[in-house]
Amino acid sequence: MSKISMVVEKQFALAEVDDRLFSSFIEHLGRAVYSGIYEPGHPTADGQGFRKDVIELVRDLGVCLVRYPGGNFLSGYDWTDGIGPRADRPRRLDLAWRTIEPNEIGIDEFVDWAKKANVGVMAAVNMGTGTPKEAGEMLEYCNFRGGTYWSDLRKKNGHAEPYGIKTWCVGNEMDGPWQICHLDAADYGKKARETAKIMKWIDDKIDLVVCGSATSLMATYPEWDRVVLEHTYEHIDYLSLHRYYENLGNDADFLASFVDMDRFIKSVASTVDYVKSLKRSTKTVNLSFDEWNVWYQQKQTRFDWEVAPPILEDQYSLLDALVFGGMGITLLNNADRVKVACLAQLVNVIAPIFTKKGGGVIKQSTYYPFRDISKYGRGTVLKPVIAAPTIETCYGDAPVLAVSVVDNGVGANGTGDISVFCLNIDQGKSHQLDLDFRSFGKVKMTMRQELSGPDQDLKNTFESPERVVPVAKAVAGGEAESFALEMSPRSWNVIRFSYAGK
């Protein structure tokens, strides 16, 4: 067991965490909407057909925004198919996922669901088959107060008040040849710029996210990002990035995914700053990591023209949850540039919440690390000053411990809280983390929790829904300026401390 010291210095503030870092994603894909969030006739369905058992878990996760309606689906979607009387809505082929879209749910119902689930909406406009004009019309429908064709149509459809949707994605993964009406970087850049101008003229309070690279593995990355930004820089607010990881047979490499994600974020930020310099701009464009997760992309099944078939229903193991936790640490430790991050996705489709049609709902293993960072990761991230031994992986040398520390701030009772998240990627050995809190004075440990276990392949199922759950560990008594904590092999840990606010 090695001893790894970390100085938790109050003055080493990296950034305030934006609440939108704990966002997620619902696409019209598989059973995310139909028999996910919406299932009329289900025993827990409310008057609109929304599953209350799912809403309860979404609330428990503390999700901030939910990106909607896609994803690859977006690039062929006509948003007007999803408004107005249900009986008049068309059934359409969805070319992205080879399914049939019944359009029972559209933007109006989704906004209603979001209110019930206590989340905000991050809307997306179609840059594949869609036009800048249609993007503007959707925004007018959603956010304009009234007295125009589209805003009055919203009122006629039962929503008198504008939705005030603030964050908008200008398309999805437009660099991907798989995208419906994929464009090259210059063509997308010009289309996104003109769309952004229209959208900001309609509502100058919105934030716009342009498509960066669909993954760091794209041959066009990071050139795509540079070209898109050269066309759009002064008109947009965020650049998106997406990345999924899967176990390709080497557990050590898989556990080190957080190292690669960190490198990806830093290189995209550098690309943004290069364009900032080129433009002699004083404005900083930040990042929206609006799709991240573990996803077994090699194991996809093909479906043919069904309504809501079980697409991308990955079942997550303990090992997947640990990798996922590492990615959460990377997001927190880059909170100075990443302001929005969406766990893709939320229900059924590569998701922490998994339902049975007509039946129950379970929490997948990844539910827990997401809830941990969302619940305890708010406040100020402190710079992770730590030197840990490393393990050799396909991503280079990976520190055995990934750590993020968040000063949650001082509450009304005069007491402050500090939350420490730690992933031990060493599969065989414990490591001791020596935390030095001197700058906070004496602190008191208030909570300690671990997600670990001898069988890394264990998954939660409907029959045994609590096989992979965090367990409470003994809390060290007394107050001290430093604490030594043993981190079990292959474990995800949350440790909290309180301090006296001054």
Question: Catalytic residue positions?
Answer: 173, 291
Q: Smallest gap, in angstroms, from Cβ of residue 242 to ligand AHR?
A: 6
CA dihedral 45, 47, 50, 55 (to 10 degrees): -80
CB of 119 to ligand AHR, least distance (A): 18
Compare residues 346 and 400 and give the one whose CB is closer to ligand AHR.
346
Least distance between ligand AHR and beta carbon 157 (Å) = 27
Q: In this structure, what are the phi and psi dihedrals at residue 471, rounded to the nearest 5 degrees? A: -120, 145
Spatial separation of the C-alpha atoms in residues 200 and 262, rounded to whole Å: 32
Separation in Å, CA 178 to CA 221, 224, 378: 16, 16, 36
Residue type present at position 277: S
Considering the complex, state which of residue 30 and residue 470 has its C-beta at the smaller distance from ligand AHR. Answer: 30
> What are the two backbone dihedrals, phi and then psi, of residue 108, each rounded to the nearest 5 degrees?
-65, -45
Spatial distance between the Cα atoms of 105 and 109, rounded to a whole number of angstroms: 6
Q: Which residues contact 126 (CB under 8 A, 6 or more apart)?
A: 74, 75, 76, 77, 78, 79, 134, 135, 171
Nearer to ligand AHR, 128 or 416 (CB): 128
Interface with ligand AHR (CB under 6 A):
27, 70-72, 172-173, 214, 291, 344-345
Nearer residue to ligand AHR within complex by CB, 36 or 70? 70
CB of 394 to ligand AHR, least distance (A): 22
Of the two residues 214 and 494, which places its CB atom closer to ligand AHR in the complex? 214
Closer residue to ligand AHR in complex, CB, 254/295: 295
14's enclosing H/E stretch is strand 13-16
Give CA–CA dist 173/226, Å, rounded: 15
In whole angstroms, the minimum distance from the beta carbon of 444 to ligand AHR comes to: 42
Select the residue whose beta carbon is closest to ligand AHR and give its number.
71
Between 328 and 416, CB nearer to ligand AHR: 328
Q: What is the CA radius of gyration of the chain?
A: 23
Nearest distance from C-beta of residue 218 to ligand AHR, angstroms: 11
CB 25 within 8 A of CB 343: yes
Nearest to 432 by CA among 392, 472, 473, 401: 401
Distance between CA atoms of 388 and 2, rounded to whole angstroms? 9
Give least dist CB 293 to ligand AHR, A: 8
The owner of tokens 């440790």 is 495
Using a 10 angstrom Cβ sphere, with 0-12 exposed, 13-18 middle and 19 or more buried, the burial of residue 213 is buried
CA distance 117 to 24: 12
